Copies of this chain bind each other. A is one copy, B any other.
């Protein structure tokens, strides 16, 4: 995964720094230092700090969208596809903790135009998840809950994951995903 590509190197450095220090607290100088360029030189590869943020988020989202799209069209019972969607969501956060942290935390820092672009990509994802949920309700495998609210609640629970997930923690990502699926699908209360 050698950095043949300066642009990618810059992006990688930005992801690391934005995650560590936050978008606003990271200066172009910090990024330049990290890749061994002068800060003026960065502008041969990127057009602005804001664009850098957007393209990181975009990359994160397009991976997400395509993965969810695949899952949706798998030849499996919908309950299992919904489960896979939750697992993939969590694994996506774990695998790209930097990018996802930035997406989930710094979205509000985007300029209005960019906010719209990213917002619509993000809505697509939510919409796909919601559709899957709706499909589950239709098939009877999933309880008849409001699909929009359910989507928000389930994804909210999953999104918060970036705040405490520790790659070096006791439990691996698969075990954590098992836990989330168990809790979200069966609930916390004892069945009578």
Which residues of A are interface residues toward B (Cβ below 8 A)? Answer: 22, 24-25, 79, 82, 105, 108-109, 133, 136, 140-143, 145-146, 149-150, 152-161, 163-164, 176, 179-180, 182-191
- Cα A24 to Cα B22 in complex, Å, equals 10
- Cα A160 to Cα B154 in complex, Å, equals 10
Contact status B179-A145, CB under 8 Å: yes
Contact status B141-A153, CB under 8 Å: no
Which B residues lie within 8 Å of A159 (CB)? 156, 160
Q: Which of B24, B142, B160, B179 contacts A189 (CB 8 A)?
A: B142
Which B residues lie within 8 Å of A136 (CB)? 188
- Cα A98 to Cα B160 in complex, Å, equals 19
Known contacts A157-B160, A159-B156, A163-B156; decide if A143 and B186 are in contact (CB<8 Å).
yes
Contact status B183-A186, CB under 8 Å: no
Closest 8 CB pairs of A and B: A156-B160, A187-B187, A157-B157, A24-B24, A186-B187, A185-B189, A156-B157, A185-B187
Contact status B188-A189, CB under 8 Å: no
Contact status A142-B179, CB under 8 Å: no
Contact status A190-B142, CB under 8 Å: yes
- Cα A154 to Cα B109 in complex, Å, equals 27
- Cα A157 to Cα B153 in complex, Å, equals 5
